[in-house]
Amino acid sequence: MKAETSVVTTKGQLVIPARLRRRYGIKKGTRVTFLEDGGRIIVQPITHEFIRGLRGSLKEEPSALASLLESRKRERAL
């Protein structure tokens, strides 16, 4: 893994190096998430590829729609 460096501006802004922006599809307007992990900060771009990769990851859990419909059914019974 090649290290890249950047400098934080007085406004707290950070420039992501061009090589990493190209590699991860980060363009103007791309949202990113900052995660803390054991003293590290992880920057995760929220791209279409990232969202596609999440598809199916919650299949084992009850669906949000099923939970919502069940909750509404209980409310109507009151």
> What is the pLDDT, as a whole number, of residue 4?
87
Which residue type occupies 56? G
Which residue type occupies 43? V
Domain ranges, ordered by start, for the chain: 18-77
Judge if pTM exceeds 0.75: no
Query: Quick check: 76 and 67 in contact, CB under 8 A?
Result: no
Count of C-beta atoms within a 10 Å radius of residue 70? 11
> What is the pLDDT, as a whole number, of residue 62?
67
> What is the pLDDT, as a whole number, of residue 15?
93
pLDDT digits (tens, 9 = 90+) for 2-61: 888 999 999 999 999 999 999 988 999 998 989 899 999 989 888 877 777 767 666 666
Measured CA to CA, the distance from residue 26 to residue 32 in angstroms comes to: 9
Measured CA to CA, the distance from residue 50 to residue 52 in angstroms comes to: 5
